[in-house]
Amino acid sequence: MSQWVLEIDGAPVELKLVNGLHQREPFPGGHRYKLVVTATSGRRALESLDNGSYKGGVEALDVQGCFMELNAAAGESEAPRQYLLNSIERAEVTDKRAEIEGVCSPVVSGTS
């Protein structure tokens, strides 16, 4: 089990209101997120990320794996998703704690 704390533009946001969706060029973008995952049991904070500090070299990260873990932790929800986490621009990862930051986008609903 892990504890997940998410902020978007500096304000706390419930995990159930986001999904991870990697985009090389986030659209529409415009928002920043910070996600801190702290391991509360024997497992690593984020299984998909190796320990290390990534600044500018995050292309080597398993972004899809990380977002799959996020989506699993968020679980099913009746509440509509409000944001999509699109990129990981900075990551600092240890066995017990992972902190990642990047660009996110509001969910844009189509009109008919």
pLDDT digits (tens, 9 = 90+) for 8-48: 999 999 988 998 888 888 889 999 999 998 877 666 667 66
Question: Per-residue pLDDT for 109 more than 90?
Answer: no
Taking CA 89 as the corner, what is the angle to CA 64 and CA 65, rounded to the nearest 5 degrees? 15
The ranges assigned to domains in the chain are: 2-106
pLDDT digits (tens, 9 = 90+) for 38-81: 877 666 667 666 656 555 445 556 677 777 788 888 888 788 88
- Cα–Cα distance, 54 to 60 (Å, whole number): 9
Taking CA 26 as the corner, what is the angle to CA 44 and CA 72, rounded to the nearest 5 degrees? 35
pLDDT digits (tens, 9 = 90+) for 81-101: 899 988 888 888 887 888 889
